[in-house]
Chain A
Amino acid sequence: DTAVSQTPKYLVTQMGNDKSIKCEQNLGHDTMYWYKQDSKKFLKIMFSYNNKELIINETVPNRFSPKSPDKAHLNLHINSLELGDSAVYFCASSQDPGEDTQYFGPGTRLTVL
């Protein structure tokens, strides 16, 4: 039983395209996150949602738009993809914003050509 799942696992696309990554957690958590991991393995938070409401937005370009249809799902839509968007994107969840343990999904490797 996968706790935090993401689709797709790999995404290869051309510059300028629009793409989405989906995330679902079956842990009953209220808080979900999106992280970006660059080629040097540096992990940085992008967004955080608590019970479908945005609580953290880390100076991410407007081309990135998270959407949370319900508290078990947090999708990431990216418009006008750029070469610099190539990275591994991780979804995570925690019981609430103050809960310290975050559970990560398997990641989505995005390659922009």
Chain B
Amino acid sequence: GESVGLHLPTLSVQEGDNSIINCAYSNSASDYFIWYKQESGKGPQFIIDIRSNMDKRQGQRVTVLLNKTVKHLSLQIAATQPGDSAVYFCAEKRGFQKLVFGTGTRLLVSP
């Protein structure tokens, strides 16, 4: 069956640390992966994406790594700030089919 899951439901880090949020997927046919950030009381906000023909993609303070061999996706946030506290979702897509979301990881950043 299909599944997009996360290893850790809650991740607590200190301000300034680097954060790594992990995600596993089961369908090797997925060709597009997205990370969304959802702050309390708001809708999911696009952070970064990666296609299956890439292993790594960098944005501003964020990096997404894709390991197709083990069907693993990770989001790295450098120098984590209190404003990064939110729930992070990975999502996968297969061509024109629906976007499938993982269960989410709550990131808590303490000063």
**Interface of A with B (CB < 8 Å)?**
4, 40-45, 48, 56, 58, 90, 92, 97-98, 100-107
Contact = CB atoms under 8 A, between A and B. Distances in A.
Contact of B49 (A43, A100, A103): A100
Given A41-B103, A56-B98, A106 B89 contact: no
A23 B32 CA distance: 26
16 contacts: A4-B43, A41-B38, A42-B101, A43-B89, A48-B98, A56-B98, A58-B98, A100-B32, A100-B93, A101-B34, A101-B46, A102-B46, A104-B36, A106-B42, A107-B41, A107-B42
Contacts of A100: 32, 34, 49, 93, 99
A4 B46 CA distance: 13
B45 interface: yes
Nearest to B89: A43
How would you classify the secondary structure of chain B's contact residues: helix, strand, loop or mixed? Answer: strand
A103 B104 contact: no
B87 A41 contact: yes
Nearest to B36: A104
Nearest to A40: B103
B38 to A, nearest CB: 8
B49 A107 contact: no
A41 B42 CA distance: 12
A101 B42 contact: no
Nearest 6 A/B pairs, CB to CB: A104-B43, A43-B101, A41-B104, A104-B44, A45-B98, A98-B96
Contacts of B95: 98
A58 B2 CA distance: 15
A56 B93 CA distance: 14
A42 B96 contact: no
Interface string B23-37: 000000000101010
